[in-house]
Structure 1
């Protein structure tokens, strides 16, 4: 964005006042938010008491070696002890930690006491395989309780884990194992997805032909036959199940590595984002309590996979540090039927649902008659994560899932930030559908122009974090120079998130998407997020993805891919183009609109916009190995060719 431009939020963004009773009862109160703004280090010092330390810290923050931060200096703790043992010691061992629901319909209930025993057994098993503090362990599992147990067992030993999403290929798995130097892999024979067994062990076997792996620990989930290497491969039940349920946790320094999470980015090899123990646990625990408004009798369901950072922070570490009861679900929203999620909400009395906008838009496409069949009255807070939620989806989510009584907490954060950074505060903020609002307590952000100067109300620029925060990434594994260059050099020591943002006239922040997704059309900066929101506001459109394609005349042109609602009559393409023009302005009118049955998404639900750009520009499509369904690309290419041929006739 070479020059800040005036910004007008979507018309659907009128504020929604929080219910009075919610404001009175919410965990975070206005006074605490104001105190955090006055003295953020004092706030984090206070929040550090939310977890148990073996040795207290002597200093909240050491920023003398910026951009390398040391939080809670000299403090020591064990992360797994904080997530499990201390709740048992406090007499809450019988409290349910997880209600597990497998896609085939199998269920398990794990109390904190039982979970403690299982984590101790797994830690002893890893010890038996030679894993010690500092050794890296790769975890490649479906969404089953053993994934959480494995992560906590690693944390208990001080062995940093790297969880590789089960949808990744053998090559992707091998590259991550090689980069972090993991010699032990925890996997399963397979998992279930859309009613069929999906193998995992064969990918590990293939990865082992490319990198050296000493031991593979295998959970039996589907019962499928797998190849076996004696001495290397071990069944979970035979090795873990025979271990002692007693294991003494060791305290580690607050800066001891906790996990490495690989993120692909838009270009280059995957980046191994390193997160450490004390600061990360403090901020995830604080935000789970304050932003998700966790209380002792709640049932939280974060629908993310633990293969992504959302699952790390808001299934495993943040909620468990608070002793929360959660739902853990293995499958997809439409198996065995489209009401599966709402059936689970009703059955377990879910109080907080934290999911992605792509899921919400899918439910919109299916229509409100599906959730209307279930009792969703237990829900008292709805959360959104992963990308900005467009105003229409926000309003649909609140009305048809929350019964027009629940706040919708639309959170912005990243793998790199480790925890929530921008959000409305439940009970305090008048939510504007589509807005990211402001920072969580103790976090400092700004929107700046190319020169690094703050932009004014109604202007757009770059989103930066101006002060260190506890859950921040510490480096890129094996590439500290890339860490400095990627995140800290662009704006002179401030963290550049890579996202465009705008301030509205009230000073609230609107995240406009990745800078790569901000288009320059005839010299005008247009946000893909804003155009997508305009398209989804049309009653016939369930989901939209917009990219900028090279154009000889305008520099870039808007190309839109839309999924239509099943209940709606198919609109004329020109009608959709004119709709965008009326919502935003003629400059935003798409050059082309393609109605498609599906968009190219990863297994985590993120739209692969770089592939859409390849299609829009009619060039060879790039790597599509991480897609949930590669056939989607073939269909889109055919659609584009057909549309191009029709336009030239």
Structure 2
């Protein structure tokens, strides 16, 4: 990477003096992040204990986002909430947001929520949901957001993980003409859970919609909740930099979701770092981010970073192509965002709908487009850059994970005048996520953990922690060290689970997951989670699933099922099993197909060889199968895949 980083000296500056780089960054970004007490030490780590950043510093992400912005931005619009399907638009200024956050903070305290206690939010994008998250942060409570598309079983699993004192939800939401009963989903989730929290419900009902059932003593409307704190204490709680801010459970390679922890200090520094280096963000920007607060992108670049930076955000609640195919472009013309933040899945959908929709609208406000979530295919990048935006703005791919908080690999778009150094914009290579940012030291290794040469594929590892990286899993640090950190060549490295190679100029090219996670439209589902769901059906003896390429969503589920002796494969059973999985995960569980087989390719020790399943689907060489138990299983899977490709099962 020497060639690249001789040109872009900001990286070498960090590499030569990490502590000095971060110390200077804190000083230069003092107008964004508020420190009640400056850190005494930049970094501390005594493995296997959790590492710490900005030790001894006291801050609060909620305070930085709201209170700290009043003097400059009190009358400025913080959020423009739009729900095109319900024809709703609402605006809230920073001053009004402050008042709402204070009311929720006082009510939380009156309810008995204190520093370190957890709350759970099961809501789509809304002003109230954002305010709840900021309020929890402001009093030192720990929030956990669950994507409002998850089923009751998935919600119950996450309730059990974080044990919240209160759950915040809505009566219902709308999605493509369907009424989604969120409160009723919570009711079902609580029946499945042994944990007994209170529930606060935001009323969204329009017209003649019926109110959901409310359980006396457990449920209350938001207005009742706010009354509890009418005369309460809303003073912010400044916390040590390494105190938890939120827990975001993410799917992994096991059936149990991983409760990823992000902390007040390092997380704030990292999301501002990415906002400045990758997005060139300033308070003059208007952001249109199509993500959801249930995912890390929504947490970082809908809830926290935009408010910390003093920007205006379009808080979008809906689908970008419903109720009209040109909705996405219409929103740009009407609200004039300067930064578009979306996913490759959304881009593929827009490309499928055709460029004529874009051409009918004025897109001149847009200054740059960024995507993440899965690989932005070169042809999709070219469509966005050349066709949709007619070569007028840069289209920037980049890479990070739930566990990393913000951009780790990307393109150095801009550095504003108060940053440590200035540098020119760098060359975009379509299909590449860019280069590591300062703080991120990467390597690609083979299956034995040996570094590979430029251009050679392997698994990406991170050679040291950086401020945005999760330091632990919620109440399970042993699992964190076991599943994320591996010792290669005598040193601990962070295992990303993503396949990649690095070219001779230092650009990183990703090839999907190296572990067993399926990414459907940016949503991560563990293969073992899906297999576990299948195995709860009385017909299923064994199951193996993999993520396979899907032209719209990035990946979809290909499932292979061995039935119990008393069951026979039928088309009705196939559909029943797919619906059975969807009852667990909701509609995000999209299938490329499900096929019945007599055996699965497994090693002699009983491990399913998912690598073989995936390569048989894609047509790649299956590689060494010397450890396989029965080679006949490979041929059976090959035949099953050929049948699936003729008649695919999908939503």
Which bin holds the TM-score, normalised by the shorter protein? 0.7 to 0.9
Question: Of 608, 611, 614, which residue of structure 1 is paired with 2:560?
Answer: 614
Q: Give the deviation of 1:213 after TM superposition.
A: 2.5
List aligned pairs for 1:230-269, cutoff 5 A. Answer: 230-240=216-226, 243=230, 247-269=234-256
Q: Which residue of 1 aligns with 2:204?
A: 221
Residues 183 and 212 of structure 1 are in contact (CA less than 8 Å); yes or no, is this contact kept in structure 2?
no
Separation in 1, partners of 2:162, 2:590? 33
* Structure 2 unmatched runs, 5+: 1-6, 414-423, 521-526, 528-543, 564-568, 597-638
Question: Of 410, 414, 421, which residue of structure 1 is paired with 2:401?
Answer: 414
Question: Of 464, 476, 479, which residue of structure 2 is paired with 1:479?
Answer: 476
Q: Which residue of 1 aligns with 2:434?
A: 437
Q: Give the deviation of 1:561 after TM superposition.
A: 6.2
* Cα distance change, pair 202–296 in 1 and its aligned pair in 2 (3 A): same
Residues 121 and 246 of structure 1 are in contact (CA less than 8 Å); yes or no, is this contact kept in structure 2?
no
Q: Which residue of 2 aligns with 1:19?
A: none
Separation in 1, partners of 2:483, 2:56? 29
Q: Which residue of 2 aligns with 1:428?
A: 425
Q: Which residue of 1 aligns with 2:582?
A: 624
Question: Of 444, 447, 451, which residue of structure 2 is paired with 1:450?
Answer: 447
Separation in 2, partners of 1:402, 1:191? 32
Q: Give the deviation of 1:131 after TM superposition.
A: 0.8
Q: Which residue of 2 aligns with 1:22?
A: none
Q: Which residue of 2 aligns with 1:354?
A: 341
Count of residue pairs brought into register by the alignment: 542
1:100 aligns with 2:81: yes
List aligned pairs for 1:558-569, cutoff 5 A. Answer: none
Q: TM-score, normalised by structure 1?
A: 0.78
Separation in 1, partners of 2:312, 2:356? 29
Q: Give the deviation of 1:446 after TM superposition.
A: 1.5
Separation in 2, partners of 1:508, 1:561? 23
Q: Give the deviation of 1:245 after TM superposition.
A: 9.4
Q: Give the deviation of 1:247 after TM superposition.
A: 2.1
Q: Which residue of 1 aligns with 2:19?
A: 41
* Cα distance change, pair 606–275 in 1 and its aligned pair in 2 (3 A): farther
Q: Which residue of 2 aligns with 1:537?
A: none
Residues 39 and 57 of structure 2 are in contact (CA less than 8 Å); yes or no, is this contact kept in structure 1?
yes
Q: Which residue of 2 aligns with 1:193?
A: 175
1:202 aligns with 2:184: yes
Question: Of 331, 356, 362, which residue of structure 1 is paired with 2:318?
Answer: 331
String of CA shifts for 1:593-617, please: whole Å, max 9, x gaps: xxxxxx7xxxxx673x4x2243899
* Cα distance change, pair 337–139 in 1 and its aligned pair in 2 (3 A): same
Separation in 2, partners of 1:647, 1:95? 56
* Cα distance change, pair 329–244 in 1 and its aligned pair in 2 (3 A): farther
Q: Which residue of 2 aligns with 1:505?
A: 504
Q: Which residue of 1 aligns with 2:307?
A: 320
Q: Which residue of 1 aligns with 2:154?
A: 172
Q: Give the deviation of 1:450 after TM superposition.
A: 3.3
* Cα distance change, pair 39–630 in 1 and its aligned pair in 2 (3 A): closer
Residues 109 and 233 of structure 2 are in contact (CA less than 8 Å); yes or no, is this contact kept in structure 1?
no
Greater Cα offset, 296-305 or 242-251? 242-251
Q: Which residue of 1 aligns with 2:621?
A: none
Q: Which residue of 1 aligns with 2:387?
A: 400
Q: Give the deviation of 1:231 after TM superposition.
A: 2.2
Residues 67 and 488 of structure 1 are in contact (CA less than 8 Å); yes or no, is this contact kept in structure 2?
no
* Structure 1 unmatched runs, 5+: 1-28, 519-527, 533-546, 548-555, 564-598, 600-604
Separation in 1, partners of 2:258, 2:42? 28
Separation in 2, partners of 1:646, 1:496? 33
Greater Cα offset, 351-360 or 469-478? 469-478
Q: Give the deviation of 1:263 after TM superposition.
A: 0.8
Separation in 2, partners of 1:382, 1:309? 18
1:52 aligns with 2:34: yes
Q: Which residue of 1 aligns with 2:113?
A: 131
* Cα distance change, pair 229–436 in 1 and its aligned pair in 2 (3 A): same
Greater Cα offset, 615-624 or 313-322? 615-624
Q: Which residue of 2 aligns with 1:542?
A: none
Q: Give the deviation of 1:373 after TM superposition.
A: 1.1
Separation in 1, partners of 2:333, 2:644? 50
Separation in 2, partners of 1:465, 1:402? 34
String of CA shifts for 1:31-52, please: whole Å, max 9, x gaps: 5444223323222222223211
Q: TM-score, normalised by structure 2?
A: 0.77
* Cα distance change, pair 459–316 in 1 and its aligned pair in 2 (3 A): same
Separation in 2, partners of 1:363, 1:58? 49
Query: What is the aligned-residue RMSD (CA, Å)?
Result: 3.1
